[in-house]
């Protein structure tokens, strides 16, 4: 950026070639009728103009590389912050900050920044107009003040409306993305018209604010162009009058006109590009807020590989945006080689508890620890390689089956196949067109609900994690899927993993060691499987007759 600023300084100094050339032509060449003088002056002027063009070319290329460097230095950090903000923000939409980074990069590499670098030289050009003659300087100064005033007016009239338009556009885009993610429901329930009307309402509202802002901005830009054209004529008229009075030469009149044009050009360009300045400033502000809202945690000390001993002590969890905790004062242990089931009615806090266990949502009270170390003492990226997690709502990433099982990292073919066999889906995958190289589509739309859940289970079992957390892992599985799931859990227990699984189905309880019963966000009871089932008046069902677990009381 410093080099670009220096190049801008040289370019603006070289702009004096125009006025100097006109002074020489009118005051020397025309009066002496010397063609040799004209030739020398013209060659020198052309050489300077070519040099200025080369420097401008270099400045543009420098800015492009500055933008790339800017993006490379910030993109990783911004992406991490966006992910962290999405986990903390119930409304979502933090992905817009990735667009803010693009907007800032485009501003750095575009003409708006060049205008910003050129604008500080306007006062120097106006000062030179005063040196030609005070009246000429006064005309140039008045013109600059008028155009700056128009820029301030532009800020007042346009910026607030642009911010409002951006806010509504963001809401409309978020609503449209959500609707498209639920396209099957929209189509099956005949909601397309209603969804379209709601989106159109927000879109038209944003369009209205955008149109008003554009109208005001266009009006101010037109006025500024008219003012500049009028001032150009005024400076020529004033110069002609002064030349008639013999206070300046005709060459000075032309040179003053060129200088005033150079002085007003960056200011007028700034008015025309004001929307870019506003967008870049707002993008910078939002990114600054993003970094302030998600401060970087100090690097955690590298702990030994976990064995998987999970411990919860008086844990309370408040989901993002909630006013009070939905899980309160929960305590239990899961040792390596043990399976613990979490059961309870709908909205009893099972999913919230599991999200707190894997660190998706932070605890507002109490401690979740693995091998005695609280979650905040672990490096999340490293700890994640020792955790297998299956969420209730399964979505796969766009890519192949193997890439999804390998968690989008380098594919360990042996480990991928081992995980698929552990989940009991090796044969299912082999039957897909392309097998492990079959593309599942964004979200896993190329697979059925049961297939997506089975692939996600294999992803959770990849490389034998020490802690396995499964949220309703058999909600989309048939009888064979239930059997495969129980076999996978038993194999994980035999391998020394600690397993936590929430379920409503009785057959899955056949292979667990302990049961946690949740009710209204609180731990109702906790103990060995048979004791808890006896309290509930149920016995473990055979896997051949899957039933839905009744509401706990």
> Phi-psi region for residue 337, left (φ > 0), alpha (ψ -120 to 50) or beta?
left
Are 498 and 392 found together in one domain? yes
Are 321 and 246 found together in one domain? no
What does the chain come to in residues? 553
Q: What angle do CA 529, 534, 540 make, to 5 degrees?
A: 55
Helix (H) or strand (E) segment spanning residue 331: strand 327-334
pLDDT of residue 425: 95
Are 314 and 451 found together in one domain? yes
Are 401 and 268 found together in one domain? no
Are 231 and 325 found together in one domain? no
In a domain, 504, yes or no: yes
Specify the 3-state DSSP secondary structure of 514: strand
Among candidate residues 243, 260, 293, the one where a domain is terminated: 293
The separation between CA 400 and the C-alpha centre of its own chain, rounded to angstroms, equals: 25
- How far is it, in rounded angstroms, from Cα 248 to Cα 245? 8
Are 417 and 450 found together in one domain? yes
The tokens 């790339």 sit on which residue?
A: 68
In a domain, 452, yes or no: yes
In CATH, what number is assigned to the domain containing residue 329? 3.40.50.300
In a domain, 206, yes or no: yes
pLDDT of residue 263: 85
- How far is it, in rounded angstroms, from Cα 324 to Cα 321? 9
Q: Which domain holds residue 64?
A: 2-293
User: In the structure encoding, which two tokens stand for residue 525, read together?
Assistant: 């009871």
**8 Å CB contact between 63 and 113:** yes
pLDDT of residue 92: 62
Backbone angles phi, psi at 339, to 5 degrees: -115, 125
In a domain, 541, yes or no: no
> Phi-psi region for residue 463, left (φ > 0), alpha (ψ -120 to 50) or beta?
left
Are 256 and 364 found together in one domain? no
Helix (H) or strand (E) segment spanning residue 186: helix 183-188
**8 Å CB contact between 133 and 256:** yes
Among candidate residues 231, 262, 293, the one where a domain is terminated: 293
Q: Reading across the β-sheet that carries 373-374, which strands appear in turn?
A: 327-334, 310-317, 363-370, 373-374
Backbone angles phi, psi at 528, to 5 degrees: -60, 150
Among candidate residues 229, 264, 293, the one where a domain is terminated: 293
The separation between CA 261 and the C-alpha centre of its own chain, rounded to angstroms, equals: 41
Instruction: State how far the alpha carbon of 365 is from the alpha carbons of 110, 317, 368, 369, 517, in Å.
Output: 49, 7, 10, 13, 20
Backbone angles phi, psi at 12, to 5 degrees: -70, -35
In a domain, 553, yes or no: no
DSSP secondary structure string, 359-426? TSS-EEEEEEEETTEEGGGS-HHHHHTTEEEE-SS--BPSSBHHHHHTTTSS--HHHHHHHHHHTT-H
| pTM recorded for the entire structure | 0.76
In a domain, 158, yes or no: yes
Are 258 and 354 found together in one domain? no
- How far is it, in rounded angstroms, from Cα 76 to Cα 85? 14
The tokens 């692939």 sit on which residue?
A: 455
Helix (H) or strand (E) segment spanning residue 183: helix 183-188
The separation between CA 82 and the C-alpha centre of its own chain, rounded to angstroms, equals: 5
In a domain, 201, yes or no: yes
Are 485 and 456 found together in one domain? yes
Are 214 and 357 found together in one domain? no
pLDDT of residue 461: 96
User: In the structure encoding, which two tokens stand for residue 415, read together?
Assistant: 């480990």
Are 286 and 353 found together in one domain? no
Cβ neighbourhood burial of 351 (10 Å; 0-12, 13-18, 19+): buried
Instruction: For 270-326, write each residue's pLDDT tens digit.
Output: 777 877 888 888 899 989 998 988 887 777 788 999 999 999 999 999 998 888 999
Are 276 and 329 found together in one domain? no
Positions of the chain with pLDDT lower than 50, given as ranges: 541-553
> Phi-psi region for residue 108, left (φ > 0), alpha (ψ -120 to 50) or beta?
alpha
- How far is it, in rounded angstroms, from Cα 511 to Cα 429? 26
pLDDT of residue 545: 39
**8 Å CB contact between 23 and 71:** no
pLDDT of residue 159: 76
- Domain count for the chain: 2
In CATH, what number is assigned to the domain containing residue 138? 1.20.1560.10
DSSP secondary structure string, 333-369? EE-TT-EEEEE-STTSSHHHHHHHHTTSS-EEEEEEE
């Amino acid at each position: 950026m410093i080099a670009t600023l220096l190049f801008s300084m040289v370019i603006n100094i070289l702009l004096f070639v125009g006025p100097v050339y006109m002074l020489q032509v009118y005051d020397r060449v025309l009066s002496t009728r010397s063609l040799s003088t004209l030739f020398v002056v013209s060659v020198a002027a052309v050489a300077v103009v070519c040099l200025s063009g080369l420097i401008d070319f270099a400045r543009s290329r420098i800015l492009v590389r500055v933008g790339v460097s800017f993006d490379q230095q910030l993109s990783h950090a911004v992406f991490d912050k966006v992910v962290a903000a999405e986990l903390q923000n119930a409304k979502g939409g933090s992905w817009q900050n990735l667009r803010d980074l693009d907007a800032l990069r485009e501003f750095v590499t575009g003409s708006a920044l060049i205008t910003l670098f050129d604008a500080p030289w306007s006062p120097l050009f106006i000062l030179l107009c005063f040196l030609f003659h005070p009246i000429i300087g006064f005309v140039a100064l008045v013109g600059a003040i008028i155009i700056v005033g128009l820029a301030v007016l532009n800020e007042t009239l346009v910026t607030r409306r642009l911010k409002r338009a951006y806010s509504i556009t963001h809401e409309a885009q978020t609503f449209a993305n959500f609707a498209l993610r639920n396209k099957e429901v929209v189509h099956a329930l005949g909601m397309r018209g209603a969804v379209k009307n709601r989106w159109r309402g927000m879109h038209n509202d944003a369009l209205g604010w955008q149109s008003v802002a554009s109208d005001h901005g266009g009006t101010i830009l037109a006025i500024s162009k008219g003012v500049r054209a009028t001032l150009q004529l005024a400076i020529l008229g004033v110069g002609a009058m002064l030349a008639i009075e013999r206070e300046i030469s005709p060459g000075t009149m032309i040179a003053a006109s060129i200088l005033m044009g150079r002085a007003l050009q960056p200011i007028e360009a700034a008015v025309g590009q004001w929307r870019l300045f506003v967008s870049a400033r707002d993008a910078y502000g939002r990114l600054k807020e993003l970094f302030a809202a998600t401060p970087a945690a100090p690097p955690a000390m590298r702990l030994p590989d976990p064995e998987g001993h999970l411990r919860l002590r008086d844990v309370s969890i408040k989901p993002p945006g909630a006013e009070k905790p939905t899980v309160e004062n929960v305590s239990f242990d899961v040792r390596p080689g043990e399976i613990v089931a979490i059961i309870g009615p709908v909205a009893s806090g099972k999913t919230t508890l599991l999200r707190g266990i894997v660190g998706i949502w932070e605890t507002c009270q109490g401690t979740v620890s693995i091998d005695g170390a609280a979650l905040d003492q672990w490096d999340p990226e490293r700890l994640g390689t020792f955790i297998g997690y299956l969420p209730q709502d399964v979505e796969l990433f766009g890519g192949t089956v193997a890439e999804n099982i390998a968690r989008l990292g380098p594919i360990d073919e042996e480990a991928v196949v081992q995980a698929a066999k552990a989940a009991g889906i090796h044969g299912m995958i082999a039957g897909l067109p392309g097998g492990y190289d079959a593309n599942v589509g964004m979200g896993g739309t190329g697979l059925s609900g049961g297939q997506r859940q089975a692939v996600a289970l294999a992803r959770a079992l990849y490389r034998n994690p020490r802690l396995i957390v499964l949220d309703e892992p058999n909600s989309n599985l048939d009888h064979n899927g239930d059997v495969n799931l129980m076999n996978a859990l038993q194999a994980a227990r035999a391998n020394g993993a600690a397993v936590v699984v929430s379920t409503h189905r009785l057959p899955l309880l056949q292979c667990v060691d302990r049961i946690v019963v949740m009710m209204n966000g609180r731990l109702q009871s906790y103990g060995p499987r048979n004791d808890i089932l006896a309290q509930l008046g149920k016995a473990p069902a055979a896997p051949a007759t899957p039933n839905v677990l009744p509401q706990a009381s």
